Amino acid sequence: MAKVTPSVMLDEMSGKAGSVVYVKTKQGTIVRPRRTPANPNTPAQEAVRDNLRRAARGYEALTPAQAQTWEDYGQTITKTQPITGETYNPTGIAIYVALVSKLLQVTPTAALPTAPPTSDFVGDRLTITVTPSAGRLTFSASSPNSLGTRTELLVQRLRSRNRTPQAKKYLSRGFATFATGSLSAEVTVTPGVYACAIRYVNANTGQQTEIVPLTVQTVSLALEKTGTAKKAA
C-alpha cells in the first residue's frame, strides 16, 4: 500500500483507476491495490439473489395502475440517508422489491402481492433472552408471537467482546414462530463471540421492524463424546 501526499488534484481524487483504488483518509489520500471481492456463492447468498430477482420480475408484471399504487405508497414512507442524514421517500419499485424479497425470505411459497400493505406493522413486544452453550445460541421468548408475526434471529460475530456491533453486519439465521409450549429456538454457530439481535417480520406482507439488539455472548466448542477409553490389561 502506498501513501500519497495530498495535493490540489489528489484532494478531489477518489474511486478506481486501473489496478488501484484511491481512498481519502485523515492522513491523506491512500492508494490501494484494486481487488476483486470474494464471492463464494453460498446457498444463503443465492437465496437472497433469487428472492430479489423474483421480486423484480413481480414488479415488472404489475399493471400501470398497480405500479402507481406502490409509487403512492412509497410517498407515505420517510427514510433517512445514513451518511448525509437527509430524508427521502422510496420509489415504488424500491419499496416493492424490499417488501417482496423479505416476504419470500420468510414465506418462500407466498404469492407475490399486487397491492401494498394497508396498515402499519409494529411487531411484537416480547422479552427475548439468549443463552450460549457448546456450539449454539438459544433464543427464548417470554410469550408467543402474535398471529402472522415471525421473530427473525440475527447474529454478528465479533473479534472480541470489546467490539461494537454494526447494525448492517447482522446475519439472519432463520425465523422463529414462538408459541405456547415452544418458546425457544436454537442457532448453531462456530466458537466465538457473538452479538445477538432480533427483528419482527410480518409473514403476510414482508413488513419488518427495526433491529432490536440483545446481548453479546461467548460460544464454546461443541465436544462430541465418542466413547470411553478402556485400560489395557
Q: In the predicted model, is pLDDT for residue 44 greater than 70?
A: yes
Give this prediction's pTM: 0.76
Q: What is the CA radius of gyration of the chain?
A: 23
Contacts of 179 (CB under 8 A, 6+ apart): 144, 145
Provide the residue ranges of all domains of the chain, joining segments of one domain with +: 2-33, 43-106, 128-219
Range with the poorest average pLDDT among 6-10, 37-41, 45-49, 220-224: 6-10
Q: Mean pLDDT score of the chain, rounded to an integer?
A: 85
Q: To the nearest whole percent, how much of the chain has pLDDT over 90?
A: 70
Query: Looking at domain 128-219, which of 3.40.309.10, 3.40.50.620, 2.60.40.10, 3.40.50.1980 is its CATH number?
Result: 2.60.40.10
What are the CB-based long-range contacts (under 8 Å, 24+) for 65-69? 66/114, 66/115, 67/92, 67/93, 68/92, 69/115, 69/116
Q: Which contiguous run of DSSP H or E holds residue 43?
A: helix 43-60
For 128-181, give the DSSP string: EEEEEETTEEEEEESSPPPTTEEEEEEEEEESSTTSPP-GGG-EEEEEE--BTT
pLDDT in tens, 2-18: 444 444 444 444 455 55
